[in-house]
Amino acid sequence: MDLDGTQFGSVVHSGLGVPLLLGSEDSCITGSCPIRSAEDRTDRDVARLLPAASAGPTWCYSITGTRHLNFTDDAVLYFAPPVRNLLALGSIDGARGLKIQNA
């Protein structure tokens, strides 16, 4: 399971033979990551290699309102709005996001 991270290593090209689950609202896997640079384009292209190379079932979910730090404990910690706005946290309620991930 890769909830929100860059895939790396030989598995990117060899793929997996077991079920694979990926997701994040602005994930490059879902194709919705913003492309603002050549590096962003490379990240997107690499992200698409793993599911394409995998022989096992692949599910790709996008959880609306999530960003990178929603897949950590930061999602349920209290951060005052000025600080929260500086973090890569989406608009989803932290407890709801974790409930969806756990399901």
State the average pLDDT over residues 30-45: 81
Q: Which tokens in the block code for residue 32?
A: 């919705």
Give residue 69's pLDDT: 84
Range of the domain at 92: 66-103
- Shared domain for 51 and 70, answered yes or no, is no
Pair 49, 90 in one domain: no
Residues 11 and 56 in one domain: yes
Interatomic CA distance for residues 58 and 17, integer angstroms? 10
- pLDDT given at position 96: 93
Domain count, the chain: 2
Residue range 42-97, pLDDT digits in tens: 888 887 888 888 888 877 777 888 887 888 888 888 887 788 888 888 889 989 98
Backbone angles phi, psi at 89, to 5 degrees: -110, 135
Sign of the torsion angle spanned by Cα atoms 102, 65, 1, 87: negative
Q: What is the pLDDT of residues 11-26, one digit of tens each?
A: 888 988 888 776 666 6
Q: Are residues 29 and 72 in the same domain?
A: no
23 CB neighbour count, 10 Å cutoff? 20
35 and 71 assigned to the same domain: no
